Amino acid sequence: MSIINYNYASNAAANVITTNERLMDKTMARISSGTKVGPGSADSGRYGLYTTMSTEAKEARAALASLNSGLARMKLVESTAMTIHKMAVRMQELAVLASDTLLTDHDRYGMDAEFGSLLTEWNRLATQTNYNGTAVMTGTDLVIRMGEGAGAADMTIVVDDWRPDQNAANGANLATHAIAAGQANSAGGATASLSDTAVVAAGQVPETLEETLITAATAELSRAKLDGIVPHLGASVQEVSGDIQAIEFAIEATAGMAVSKELSASLLGDTDYARDTAKLAAQQVISQAATAILAQANARSATVLTLLK
């Protein structure tokens, strides 16, 4: 049709160029940013799911860091607990030896000196072993923040109190399972705690602790306590080992969860370069073809001038 007031072919070609340029802009934004959810390249419905999965993946990584920190803390508890258990076994051995009535007092004084030093060191380890500024052997439970939203359940590890002078009056979860408080001259009963209160020297008897081996009778009392305490300490060490196993399994599961959620976020939001570069090449061909057609359509009006000649 030879008209000049309206050129349908030119306008159609121009519309194709405009639409194609919009698609090229979005494709180039994805290629340049590496993401399908960045400014100018986000798809409706994709951004919310992408950000949710990204957030959950970061929470899983944070939980993994907390679990690894908790694992390190419990391994510190385990190694310290094993040392305390070995010390208690040696103290039990000393108490058995010192209960022999054939020994002289001076022989017992030497054993009592070692016994008292071990008990003092036991108490020091139990009260002063810290992890990141927190005492870990005094019955402070370990709470590991797992993240995963407001409804997530934290992982709580119950840690026993390893101090030798603690008893049922001081709280539950005692590694020694002591019921009553220890008293002077190792008294307090077979289920009592071990008192590390110092007793000053008197006459030829050297300075000692209330839990003492200075006589066969007091050594026998200490032996009776340690006969019950040592197995309980061994059981508590095994509980710590079990807690470590639980944390290690939680780490394995959380690591897998983090990888899966990171993959999901990547599939939703990361640019597929093979696909988008292929699309860009096609869009560039279309753009060039549409431009050529627009030029041809604009040239059609020149035929009217031919008719006027």
User: For the segment 64-82, what is each residue's pLDDT rounded down to a tens digit?
Assistant: 999 999 999 999 999 999 9
Residues 285 and 192 grouped into a single domain: no
Q: Check residue 221 and give its pLDDT.
A: 97
Q: What are phi and psi of 272, to 5 degrees?
A: -90, 100
Q: Are residues 84 and 22 in the same domain?
A: no
Cα–Cα dist 74/141, whole Å: 11
Which of 265 and 86 is assigned the larger pLDDT? 86
State residue 249's pLDDT score: 95
pLDDT of 166 = 94
What is the rounded average pLDDT of the residues 105-121? 94
pLDDT band at 2 (very low <50, low <70, confident <90, very high): low
Q: Are residues 261 and 275 part of one domain?
A: no
Residues 195, 304: one domain? no
Residues 56 and 114 both lie in one domain: yes
To the nearest whole number, what is the mean pLDDT of the chain? 87
Residue type, 213: L
Q: Where residue 5 falls among pLDDT bands split at 50, 70, 90?
A: low
Please tell me the predicted confidence (pLDDT) of residue 52: 87
Both tokens of 226, joined, read 């340690």
160 and 103 co-located in one domain: yes
Asked, for residue 39, whether it belongs to a domain, the answer is no
d(CA 272, CA 36): 9
pLDDT band, residue 42 (cuts 50/70/90)? low
Same domain for 286 and 205, yes or no, is no
Q: Say yes or no: 231 and 303 in one domain.
A: no
Evaluate whether residue 300 is within a structural domain. Answer: yes
Judge if 106 and 91 occupy the same domain: yes
What pLDDT shows up at residue 88?
97
Q: Is the pLDDT of residue 51 over 90?
A: no
Indicate left, alpha or beta for 179 from its phi (over 0: left) and psi (-120 to 50: alpha).
alpha
For residues 250 and 299, membership in a common domain is answered with no
From 2-16, 186-200, 235-249, the region with the lowest mean pLDDT: 2-16
Q: Are residues 252 and 291 in the same domain?
A: no
pLDDT at 210 > cutoff 80: yes
In contact, 213 and 200? CB cutoff 8 Å: no
Let me know if residue 41 belongs to a domain: no
Higher model confidence: residue 19 or residue 259?
A: 259
**What's the CATH code of the domain at 233?**
1.20.1330.10
Across the range 210-224, mean pLDDT stands at: 96
Position 249 in a domain: yes
What share of the chain has pLDDT > 90, as a percent?
55
Give the chain's domain count: 2
Residues in Cβ contact with 252 at an 8 Å cutoff, skipping those fewer than 6 apart: none
Q: How much is the pLDDT for 4?
A: 62
Cβ–Cβ under 8 Å, residues 79 and 51: no
Phi-psi region at 116: left, alpha or beta (left = phi > 0; alpha = psi -120 to 50):
alpha
Sign of CA dihedral 274, 278, 279, 280: positive
Q: If 0-12 CB within 10 Å is exposed, 13-18 middle and 19+ buried, where does residue 239 land?
A: middle
Q: Which domain holds residue 241?
A: 47-268
Q: Write the CB contacts of 254 (distance below 8 Å, at least 6 apart in sequence).
A: 60, 63, 64, 67, 146
Is the same domain home to 213 and 68? yes
pLDDT at position 79: 97
Residue 194: inside a domain:
yes
Q: Tell me, yes or no, whether 284 lies in a domain.
A: yes
Residue 231 maps to a domain: yes
pLDDT band for 14, please (50, 70, 90 cuts).
confident
Q: Give the confidence band of 304 by pLDDT, cuts at 50, 70, 90.
A: low
Residue 114: predicted pLDDT: 96
Which letter, b or e, does each residue of 246-268 get, where b requires 16 or more Cβ atoms within 10 Å of its Cβ?
A: ebeebbeebbebbeebbebbeeb
pLDDT number for residue 119:
97
Residue 42 lies in a domain: no
Residue 263 has pLDDT above 80, yes or no: yes
Over range 8-17, report the average pLDDT.
80
**Confidence check: pLDDT of 174 > 90:** yes
What does the H/E/C string look like for 122-175? Answer: HHHHHHHCEECCEECCECCCEEECCCCCCCCCCEEECCCECCCCCCHHHCCCEC
